[in-house]
Structure 1
Amino acid sequence: MIFMKKKLLSLTFLLLISFCFSQNHLKIIDSLKTVIFNKPSDSIKIKAYGDLCWYYRSVSIDSAFKYGNLALKLSKETSNQAGEAQAYNDIGILHYDLADYTKALRYYDASLKIRSILKDTMGMAALYNKIGLIHQNTFKLDSAIFYATKALKIYEDKNHVRYVAYIKSNIANIYRGLKQYQKALETHLEIAEVNKSINDNLGLTRTYNNIANAYLFLKDTVQSETYYLKSIDLALKYDYKKELAGLYNNYGGILHDMKKYTKAINYNTKALKLREELKDNYGITSTSLHLAGLYLDLGDFNTARNYLYEGLNLSEGFNINELTMDAYDKLASYYAFKRIPDSVLYYKQLFKSINDTIYNSRITKEVAEVQEKYNAAEREKEIQTQRAEIAEKELKLNRKNTQIIGLVSLALLLFVLGYLLYNQQKLRNKQLQKESELKQALIEIETHNKLQEQRLRISRDLHDNIGAQLTFIISSIENLQYGFKITNNKLKGKLTDISAFTKETIYELRDTIWAMNKNEITLEDLQGRISNFIDKANVSASNLNFSFTIAEALSKAFVFTSVKGMNIYRVIQEAVNNAIKYAEASNIDIQIEKKDDNVLFSISDDGKGFDFNEINAGNGLNNMKKRATDMGATIIYNSETGKGTNIILTL
């Protein structure tokens, strides 16, 4: 019986009324941010901030506070009293969710004051209900029923059936707190019929939970389990996470009483996971203590100890007296199991102390009121003395404040001076850095100019010396051929080959000098060089048709480095020469085109082709492959015997 009483005290109460809950908060959050981004009027921005506060409540509590405070600040700046009242209300709800009831009550009172001035009766009713819930959760049941009744009267006058049902449900829970269990059950059964008639599934889920709790207090475990399972089915069907967490916790309690410990742990663990996800501090505390009790009964004392101290720390941190009392009681049991009598006695005393505090607070208050009537004169004298002391303290405080203001002003002055010196030094450092960067740029330009001069000197030397010597060789061979009547055909052929090779070397030397004289080669430069080469090839091979096209998508100003430009030209030159020498082709087609982020160079012929696996790759193919590798390009040889050859260079 004692255990049943302790367990029932820890059952969770009905939380805040929630009339509209979206299953996709993140999409709504994004749309609200879009509204703010479009710079609407202040009133619309306040509404958007308030809505963001509400929808962030189940996503990020820090973000919810941020937007709630933004709504409050803008409302004050624009003298928007309705917005200010709503912002106080929303921030109060956030503190309520964190079980910080003192702050929640302060914000609710601020909202109620404004809504009373505005004569916003519906807003006042909602706040009366929320204030009543805080008193209910802190076991101030007389205050809870007072505020719930005020809310009920407004909703009945406005004929709001759904809201009336919600408030009656809260009042029924207060009856339960006052141990009027049969009256609480009858009220909840009546509310369930109203919920069904207006298709209020959320309200029905909560009402079934309350009915189950009432049957539990009346010791009808069978009916209690039936209604818990009905409520769980509805919560799962409509994804009511907050309600589902409480239901798992409560149903786990019944399973505990039935000694189905493993199943009870499963449901309570589900409840704890959901409550941690929802950041429900009251719920986390309650469920942790339920799990502690289960593990105590199972004899798993180490696990029980972890849950006990977690629950105790949370209940003390959030000033939840009835759960702190439950934690003390369970800790006494734990140390009894561990056979540590001093700790048992210590926690029993703490349990008794807080129990007396909760259940004797009203008596203490009444006694204090009577005492105050008899000591009014003495109290007045004390008040006067206190006022004199306060005045003296205020005088001392004002002096201290003056000193503090002087010190703060001096500190600010020093800070400003320090900041100015810091900025000055920062500007000087930036200036020095820019000067350094300028010197480095000048050095790089000078180095570049020197390299360019050296390049030009080398290219002149190549042209004037080696070019002249090669030309002399050709001239000498031709003089030999014409000056002497050489009849030896073999020798004559050899001299002709040397002359042709030397001429080819001169052409290549000119191409090299052309590349050396440029820092970079544009596509237009490359086009001109390829065209010149094709013209010469066309003269030497009159039976061939050449075509050369560049895609319009490519800019003529497209730039390559001189090395890349020269390598591209050499690959094309080698491919054309191979087609002329070996392919027996009638047509050679050269195309330059753009594909995605790549430039493709394609050389095709309609010659006899070759099987790459059956030939030994000569210097020509190997040279082309090496040049492609050097410039980070890829080269593909597509050829088939009798079907021509296509070489694609991709850069």
Structure 2
Amino acid sequence: MTPLKKSIFLLFSIALFSSVRAQTLDSTAIWDTLNYSLRIVYSTPDDAMELVELAQSSAQTLRNESLIARSYNFLGIVYDVKGMRLEALGAYGIARAKADSLNDTRLYASAVNNIGLIQWQQGDYRNAVINFQESLTLFEEIDAPKGVANTLNNIGLIYTEQDRLEEALEYFMRAFKAYQNIDDMYGESAALMNIGRAYEQGDVLDSARKYMYLTLNLKRELNDPRGISMSYANLGVIAEKAGSLDSGIFYFEKALELDEQNEFTSIMAQHMSALGNMYLKQGREEEAEAILLDGLYYAEELGDLKTLWGIHYRLSELYAGQEQWQKAYYHSGQYTAEYQNWRDEEKEQEIINLQERFDVAMKDAELAEERRDSAIAAAKLREQNATIVIISGVAVLILILALFLVRRLRARQRRLAEEHALKEQLSATSHEAEMDEQRKGISRDLHDSIGSQLTFLSSTLKNLTWALRNQSRPTEQTLDRLEEVSGYAQKTVSDLRDTVWAMNRDEMTVGEIMLRTENSVNQYREAFEGIRVDFETKGDEFELLPAKKAMAVYRILQESLSNIRKHSAANQVVIVAERADDSWKWTVSDNGRGFDASKVAKGSGLENLKERAANADMICTIESSIGKGTQIHLTSA
């Protein structure tokens, strides 16, 4: 512990002991100590544990049940950071039971959410989702924005594990905006890291790398060495996936350096296992063996079965390759046994231990509830004896009032029923109109883009069939046409995917529109050879737009790029999305030959852009002159 941290720790200790000796009901010192433990838990978890235990002991001395319950929730967080998941579950279970007996909804929701996090780490996704949904409902009921943000983030984790990546990204981005609204930088960094992991899992590596670098910078600002280590490890995974093994090794070595400096044993074994695997891929067998054996030691200390069987598997492969059959056989057997334990016995034992802790907590809560019920019953008896004369005197008045209220209630219920029926009718009419408009839009996309491409493919294939039948061997022209057909087929598939993508979404972010447009340029890079296309977003790229408007913007950007490629002779294009005057504006500029905008014929491709924009309640304007390039502006109507 540094001298500064020792001083702070001493100050909290003195404040606590002074408060207890004075036997005051002021619990500020205890509460401040618990909050400070949360600030240091990721950098010095052992120090945080000492503070929580000190605060809990002081709360018990003062018999402050609310603070005792909260101290168990904080204790669970420290156990989780230290990798002691069973202990964390037990502490969260006690916090939940005590919160229930105290009718403390906020604490109850927090404990349930934390239990769900542990279940997610253990792979128990079904129960984790149940707990996350319960906590989200409770946090929304009591208007607790941080609790809502945390739970949205956690639900995204479940969807990531289930490979439902679009849904995961939606929840992570909602969580990120919620954290931004309450200036929670740590929450922002957690959401950004999860966005990067989701993109990495979906093999969108450029986006994964972008968000992981944003996470790393935030973690550095927060002075969160554990978060920095995890960011390095994620960058290592992304680099390995991208084929850069040297970079992957570099990032994991940086992560391990931080793990060893700060004694992050809960993640050290996982990082050693991954780094050992990379050493094996590079043929650095001695280094791989050393790091894997170290990882085996830490995994055994933690009882991390999933990491254990992974390391045993890699060691068995290493020794088999070296023809050290006895060692290979040993680790192969250990791998099989640990894997089976991870899947069956460990989960069963965890459930037994958790049930025991919950039983103890529930018994404590039941005893407290019995004492409270006895006190309430005695108070009620005294009140009944004192007020029986008054009750008999006003009984008639109460009856009259009750009849009056019943009549008013029935009238109000009838009025509400009529209003509800009217709202449902209006909602159904609005929904049908929206669905009809969406069908028309999809039909127009299929006709304008995919229909024309399929017609071209059909005609060209007929001509090529005739040519191949009348040629002893394909000519160079025939082969070129075949390659052209292949390109059109690929574009048709891409356009069809875009249409399906739009059909499955109610809203899309500005960032998704720009990223998807950029990906379409990268996909057909050969067609854009010699043309530099730059993208820039000025505003919140996570802002959501209705799917109809977002798809129209995407199609207009695509068609604009296609026109530039075919007709402009430009070598530079800039696409800018800018938030201005409460709406978004897109500008596509090129340095091509330009044209006389006043002589554009009706029915041309540029007129089609304006028509598509108008159908989405947007305005498309075109500025151009000969020799000065072209600018296409798209704004909301």
- TM-score normalized with structure 1 length: 0.48
- TM-score normalized with structure 2 length: 0.49
Greater C-alpha Rg: 1
